[in-house]
Structure 1
């Protein structure tokens, strides 16, 4: 039986968020993040031990949990200032020769998409019709069952009355025979 590895929680920054994942190894964490580069070797990813940060990832192993790194205002304040705009003198601007324009491409046809959507609509309609027919059949069967049970009960009552009468007649004949 294979030994199950203990889970560890790893973190890497993704944009304005940190991505956390509970995985048995750094390689498994990289796979969960979809990374082909070793973020751990580059110092971008790390193992996390803080109980407040590992609780949610440990509850969902292998699932990437995203958490914002601060408020929107804090993130905007951390952005570098805009670089100064430099004017390029018109004489120094490279001249770009216009490309010959290609003829406009035709708009793609929606015919295949519409046919697929119609096929789905038709299939759902057929399913709905089949279920309605089944419901009707179930209703008919329930009525038939109730009718058969009523008729069987009436026949049972009739036969029980006949048995009771025959038993009474037999017992009377038996009493008379014994004297």
Structure 2
């Protein structure tokens, strides 16, 4: 039965973690067992029927923890239902149009037969870690561009797919 889902994420300032937690919440509402975990703390994906992997985007690359997670668990991931998400644009573009995955994520999607990728808006606010992040915020270009309705709709679609694929007793 397809009912246990891992939502693994790579984040620096917590924005992507909040998205992952929202996805896990929606999956639970769909009747699945789901948990969100930092990608770097996952030791195995064997216990999960499906996996959602997300990473913040930094200078055109997925967060290093998401990249490492995918490399480390590639063999196990290739046999599971798998989705990717990215977070990062610091504007409304992710809510207005489909933003394709960055090249490294696209290559992993092909290699692992990922069902779908979506890019959500990012969030960078006062107190952000890192010199570049602080400069972005201090220049007035930060903010919270996450669209939780869009995130919920995507997660609900994943939940529906998984529930419909589960064998009936």
**What is the TM-score normalised by the length of structure 1?**
0.18
Indicate the structure whose relative CO is greater, using CA pairs within 8 Å and at least 6 residues apart. Answer: 2
> What is the TM-score normalised by the length of structure 2?
0.19
Choose 1 or 2 for highest CA Rg. Answer: 1
Q: If each structure's strand is expressed as a fraction of its own residues, which one has the higher value?
A: 2
